[in-house]
């Protein structure tokens, strides 16, 4: 049987969502996947071997980097016994650390794949736009200069549709395909001088959202025109884009199937 889980986590204390390997051996650094698999094995009674081999393996909808949060990460795993969802969710959550939790568990069709079946990913980047810090800003990036939301939105509009996003791809991208379809790209200001940038797309390249935000801030910080984003996109050259901003403030809000 195959099951799907919705997972929420704060990524600050973990080295990304995915277990990492070096020379075929798992690197002993805490990851969301590693912590979850251990908790699932504990609840189901599956024994983890001495060399840290876990009999239950999870597949995530996509990778999130160190420091990136999730309110809607989806994963699947196989288990040959029926699971009572309410009991399972409660038991796993009691084992997990405070910054990781699961919300839902459902049995899914064997054809379901957390990554390959996904149609859209919804990311939000949040930062603070004010000169002075506040004790409750947490780890959010603080931009001290004034930003122009109208110009930012015009810049984001150039990203809508299907494009080659090579300019926003970091070198760690494993998938050679650089074409993505962006369905939504919007910015708005919330209370407490917080600015959010919402982006929905069918797929995202490694560090793509953070580099898009870095390019937006380059436009604002240097008072460039919104057409600069169009020029960067069409250049298909990472050197033309802005910096990759801090992972703190980036959240995977939802994965749609």
Do 65 and 207 contact (CB within 8 A), yes or no? yes
Q: For the chain, what is the mean pLDDT?
A: 94
Tokens 């029926």 belong to 82
pLDDT tens digits, one per residue of 213-226? 999 999 999 999 99
Per-residue pLDDT band for 115 (boundaries 50, 70, 90) equals: very high
Q: How far is CA 16 from CA 34, 64, 70, 128, 132, in A?
A: 10, 6, 11, 23, 30
Mean pLDDT value across residues 144-154: 97
Per-residue pLDDT band for 23 (boundaries 50, 70, 90) equals: confident
Q: Is the pLDDT of residue 21 over 90?
A: no
The pTM for the full model equals: 0.92
pLDDT tens digits, one per residue of 35-94? 999 999 999 998 887 666 788 999 999 999 999 999 999 999 999 999 999 999 999 999
Beta bridge partners of 201: 121, 182
Domains of the chain: 2-108 (3.30.70.580), 120-256 (3.30.70.660)
Which sequence positions are flagged as catalytic?
65
Do 59 and 114 contact (CB within 8 A), yes or no? yes
In this prediction, residue 70 carries a pLDDT of: 97
């Amino acid at each position: 049987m195959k099951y799907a889980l919705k997972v929420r986590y704060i990524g600050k204390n973990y080295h990304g969502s995915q277990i990492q390997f070096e020379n075929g051996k798992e690197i002993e650094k805490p990851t969301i996947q590693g912590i979850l698999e251990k908790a699932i094995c504990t609840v189901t009674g599956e024994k983890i071997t001495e060399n840290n081999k876990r009999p239950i393996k999870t597949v995530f909808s996509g990778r999130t980097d160190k420091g990136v949060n999730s309110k809607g990460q989806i994963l699947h795993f196989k288990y040959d016994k029926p699971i009572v969802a309410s009991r399972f969710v409660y038991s796993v959550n009691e084992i997990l650390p405070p910054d990781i939790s699961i919300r839902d568990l459902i049995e899914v069709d064997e054809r379901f794949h957390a990554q390959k079946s996904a149609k859209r990913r919804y990311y939000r980047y949040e930062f603070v736009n004010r000169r002075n810090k506040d004790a409750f800003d947490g780890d959010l990036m603080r931009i001290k200069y004034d930003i122009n939301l109208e110009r930012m939105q015009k810049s984001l509009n150039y990203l809508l549709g299907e494009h080659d996003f090579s300019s926003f791809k970091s070198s760690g991208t494993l998938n050679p395909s650089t074409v993505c379809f962006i369905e939504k790209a919007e910015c708005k200001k919330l209370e407490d001088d917080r600015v959010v940038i919402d982006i929905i797309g069918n797929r995202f390249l490694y560090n793509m959202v953070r580099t898009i935000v870095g390019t937006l801030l380059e436009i604002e910080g240097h008072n460039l025109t919104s057409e600069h984003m169009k020029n960067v996109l069409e250049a298909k050259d990472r050197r033309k884009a802005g910096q990759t901003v801090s992972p703190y403030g980036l959240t995977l809000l939802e994965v749609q199937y």
